[in-house]
């Protein structure tokens, strides 16, 4: 880089990075717009129509509600709430069970076949059982998300807890840490990178299962409910608006989890000289 | 005082240690030197209570060792794996004090004091992986010191640092031994090092590991990297230890 161009290097490089990232998306959306307009098919509205529908449905509310409409607070928030509760339950149960499974060869021997069996059951097939076990509505929806999102956290935590460096375990033994201290100060942090890998999988699964759970009987709000409702009214722009919204939510939630991971695991990325 | 009585250990059919008997007096610094495969690390792990020997026993201050005894600290060779990367240097050093029910402030103060005593007064807030290898090994020594052990075991502690750092760390161990008054057992494969730091050198033979000789180091307690190593007595001792170690290495090789 020459001395002359140096002062302008920063903004132009930033711009270039942004362009590189978004250019493909912009080109695709533009091509979609052109194709949809020239085809004029009611099943494939152009992105501009979809965006306008999204704005009218969800983001044209009063400023006092952060521009969210009643439709948005009545559907998106309950969905996210159910997903958050289910993900929290999955994470807590998955980490607790996974640590037990990972640190006890006996527990692993006894329970691993059971877990491998349970996690290969597609959650939709459990719906009749869940309907009998839980109250229709939110409890059953949360149960069906948990039954899917639990496994990646559990299995990755068990793997992380099982593969803690023997030297670190010996260090904890030599300095006579109590079992609780060993778990909290050595095994849990050592397993954290794998726990996060599991959480990332659980997050995307729980978004999928959230929509699925809202297609079940006993639902009267939520993003999935809005989707089936629009479908039954042949309201194609709304169907598309929901699909795009789900894509955006998935992207934002994953970005938030990645940011949290970078923060919590800063030592991990730095110690391994990975891009932090 | 540490007593090792008829200690033998085997992994399945493979005998690693054979009938070892050794006494280490309170406050003594004993080097254990031997060729690779003589069971040095296994011996150390038996003393630390990390593994139970197949037969024989280890007694520390009159109490048989069964599990890791209190008042014992270990400095491992592989500092990068024995320091925890998610804790700061200070928290790593303070880690062993948690068991002793000290307050957070007391633990911090003890950690800072230990770090200062190994020449790293300003490293507390850093992370281990931000330090050089020699500095990381200083941190593991500080962690052992903060614990105030009566017996300190060092398992080839300077095996993976450069020569200059190694000499600095040897002098650090000598200083710690003089001021702290603890008993130290230092395992090494370096003949010069065993004589330079030791009050006594125990030479191990292999196949299976056994005690081949014990040599008193008849050097004044004050050691100096240049002067001591040029001393005629040092040269004589290292030649003697060297012959024993080489003899041990070329000794009978069991099938």
Q: Which of B70, B84, B129 sits opposite A270 (nearest CB)?
A: B129
CB pairs A-B closer than 8 Å? 62
Cross-chain residue pair B81–A176, CB shorter than 8 Å: no
Question: For A27-62, what is each residue's pLDDT tens digit?
Answer: 999 999 999 999 988 889 999 999 999 999 999 888
Q: What is the pLDDT of residue B136?
A: 93
Question: For B142-185, what is each residue's pLDDT tens digit?
Answer: 999 898 899 999 999 888 788 888 898 999 999 989 888 899 99
Question: For A257-276, what is each residue's pLDDT tens digit?
Answer: 999 999 999 999 888 764 43
Average pLDDT, chain A: 88
Cross-chain residue pair A185–B84, CB shorter than 8 Å: yes
Q: What is the pLDDT of residue B4?
A: 92
Which residues of chain A are within 8 Å of residue B68 when distances are taken between CB atoms?
173-174, 176
Superfamily of A63-271 according to CATH: MetI-like (1.10.3720.10)
Which residues of chain B are within 8 Å of residue A181 when distances are taken between CB atoms?
98-99
Question: For B209-252, what is each residue's pLDDT tens digit?
Answer: 888 889 999 888 889 998 999 999 999 999 999 999 888 666 55
**A188 and chain B: CB distance < 8 Å anywhere?**
no
Closest CA in chain A for residue B131: A271
**Beta-sheet strands, E only, within chain A:** none
| pLDDT higher than 50, residue B32 | yes
CB count within 10 Å of CB A99 equals: 22
Q: Which of A162, A170, A166, A186 is nearest to B85 (CA)?
A: A186
Distance from the Cα of B252 to chain A's closest Cα (Å) equals 32
Q: Is the dihedral of CA A264, A182, B102, B47 positive or negative?
A: negative
A163, A168, A175: best to mutate for the B interface, most B CBs within 10 A: A175
CA distances from B163 to B65, B166, B193, B198 (A): 35, 5, 11, 18
Q: Does domain B2-249 have CATH number 3.40.50.300?
A: yes
Q: Which of B68, B81, B98 sits opposite A174 (nearest CB)?
A: B68
**A187 and chain B: CB distance < 8 Å anywhere?**
no
Average pLDDT, chain B: 89
Tell me which H or E stretch contains A110: helix A105-119
Q: Which of A171, A174, A271 sits opposite B85 (nearest CB)?
A: A271
Residue ranges per structural domain of chain B: 2-249
Residue ranges per structural domain of chain A: 63-271
The pTM for the full model equals 0.84
């Amino acid at each position: 880089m020459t001395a002359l161009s140096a002062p302008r290097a920063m903004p132009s490089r930033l711009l270039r990075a942004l362009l590189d990232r978004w250019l493909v998306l912009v080109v695709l959306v533009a091509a979609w717009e052109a194709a949809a307009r020239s085809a004029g098919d009611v099943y494939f509205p152009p992105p501009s129509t979809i965006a306008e529908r999204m704005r009218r449905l969800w983001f044209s509310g009063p400023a006092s509600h952060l521009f969210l409409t009643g439709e948005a607070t009545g559907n998106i928030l309950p969905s996210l709430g159910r997903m958050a509760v289910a993900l929290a339950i999955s994470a807590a149960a998955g980490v607790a069970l996974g640590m037990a499974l990972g640190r006890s060869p006996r527990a692993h021997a006894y329970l691993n076949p059971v877990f491998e069996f349970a996690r290969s059951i597609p959650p939709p097939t459990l719906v009749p059982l869940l309907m009998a076990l839980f109250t229709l509505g939110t409890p059953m929806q949360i149960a069906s998300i948990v039954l899917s999102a639990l496994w990646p956290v559990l299995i990755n935590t068990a793997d992380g807890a099982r593969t803690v460096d023997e030297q670190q375990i010996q260090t904890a033994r030599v300095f006579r840490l109590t079992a609780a201290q060993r778990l909290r100060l050595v095994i849990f942090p050592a397993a954290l990178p794998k726990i996060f890998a599991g959480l990332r999988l659980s997050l995307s699964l729980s978004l999928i299962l959230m929509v699925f759970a809202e297609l079940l009987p006993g639902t009267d709000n939520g993003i999935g409910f809005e989707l089936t409702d629009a479908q039954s009214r042949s309201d194609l722009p709304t169907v598309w608006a929901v699909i795009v919204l789900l894509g955006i939510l998935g992207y934002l939630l994953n970005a938030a989890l990645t940011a949290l991971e970078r923060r919590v695991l800063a030592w991990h990325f730095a110690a391994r000289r990975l891009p932090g | 005082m540490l007593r090792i009585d008829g200690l033998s250990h085997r992994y399945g059919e493979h005998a690693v240690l054979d009938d070892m008997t050794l006494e280490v007096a309170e406050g003594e610094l004993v080097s254990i030197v031997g060729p690779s495969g003589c069971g040095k690390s296994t011996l150390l792990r038996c003393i630390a209570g990390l593994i139970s020997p197949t037969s024989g026993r280890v007694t520390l201050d009159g109490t048989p060792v069964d599990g890791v005894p209190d008042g014992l600290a270990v400095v491992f060779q592989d500092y990068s794996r024995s320091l925890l990367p998610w804790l700061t240097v200070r928290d790593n050093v303070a880690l062993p004090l948690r068991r002793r029910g000290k307050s957070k402030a007391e633990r911090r103060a003890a950690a800072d004091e230990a770090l200062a005593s190994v020449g790293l007064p300003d490293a507390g807030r850093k992370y281990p992986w931000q330090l050089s290898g020699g500095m990381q090994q200083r941190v593991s020594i500080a962690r052992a010191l903060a614990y105030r052990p009566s017996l300190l075991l060092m398992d080839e502690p300077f095996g993976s640092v450069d020569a200059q750092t190694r000499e600095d760390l040897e002098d650090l161990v000598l200083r710690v031994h003089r001021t702290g008054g603890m008993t130290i057992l230092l395992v090494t494969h370096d003949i010069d090092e065993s004589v330079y730091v030791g009050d006594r050198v125990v030479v191990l033979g292999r196949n299976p590991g056994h005690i081949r000789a014990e040599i008193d180091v008849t050097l004044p307690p004050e050691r100096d990297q240049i002067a001591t190593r040029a001393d005629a007595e040092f040269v004589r001792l290292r030649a003697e230890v060297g012959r024993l170690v080489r003899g041990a290495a070329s000794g009978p090789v069991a099938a």
